[in-house]
Amino acid sequence: MESNAKKAVLQSANLDRANLHQADLTEATLTQATLSGVDLTHANLSGANLMGANLRGVNGTEAKFVRSQLRGADLERANFNKAIFVEADLGRVNLSAANLSGANLSYASLDGATLMGANLTQANLINTRLVLASMRGIRLDKAELTNSNLTEADLSWASLQGTNLSAATLRKAVLTDVDLSTAILRGADLSHAWADLVSVSDANLAWVTLPSGLQQAKQEFV
């Protein structure tokens, strides 16, 4: 396939196992397309429409998806190490077991997304929406989630060691067996969250709004 495919219309196209290394697919239409196993390393898909596309197992290392539409796409086990998803729409995507370590998802929307077992170590999720996201077993160690919205997200068995959750919203979130040791939760809102077996050793809990059941037992929580 041509490396320059700006604004290409590839709706429902089958690009299975294609080599799109460094391809320019800015503002391309790839709705319902099949791109499983595709090499998208260093590719530019900014502004592209990939709604409902199949990107299972793709290698998107350092690829760009700035303001792209990926709602409902399947990205299970994909590798997006250091990829850029700034302001992208990732609502209801499947990112189970995907690697997004070091990725930039700031200002992106992942409402209702599935990120079970995903690796987002050192990822940038500042001002990111993760409302109702399923994040069981996710790794968010040393990630930046300042001002992020995780209302009603399920973070059971998640690892957030050293994660920055300053001013984050975790209202009604599920925090069962979560590791928040050395995390920064300064000004975070955990009101009405379900917190059980949470580890917060050496965490910064200044001005945190705790679940009502833990207000009088803050010392035990800490």
SS3 sequence of 67-131: CCECCCCECCCCECCCCECCCCECCCCECCCCECCCCECCCCECCCCECCCCECCCCECCCCECC
Helix runs in the chain, H state only? 218-221
First and final CA of the chain: distance in angstroms? 56
Residue 23: name the closest of 46, 49, 50 by CA. Answer: 46
CA distance 189 to 193: 9
Of 13-22, 77-86, 163-172, the one with minimum mean pLDDT is: 13-22
Do residues 112 and 89 make contact, with C-beta atoms less than 8 angstroms apart?
Answer: no
pLDDT at residue 211, as a whole number: 76
CA distance 70 to 68: 6
pLDDT at 15 exceeding the cut of 70: yes
pLDDT tens, 48-80?
Answer: 999 999 999 999 999 999 999 999 999 999 999
Percent of the chain with pLDDT over 70: 94
Q: What is the mean pLDDT of the chain?
A: 93
pLDDT at 215 exceeding the cut of 70: no
pLDDT at 222 exceeding the cut of 50: no
CA distance 62 to 116: 22
Residue 63: name the closest of 14, 105, 7 by CA. Answer: 105
CA distance 32 to 95: 17
For residues 180-207, give the mean pLDDT: 91
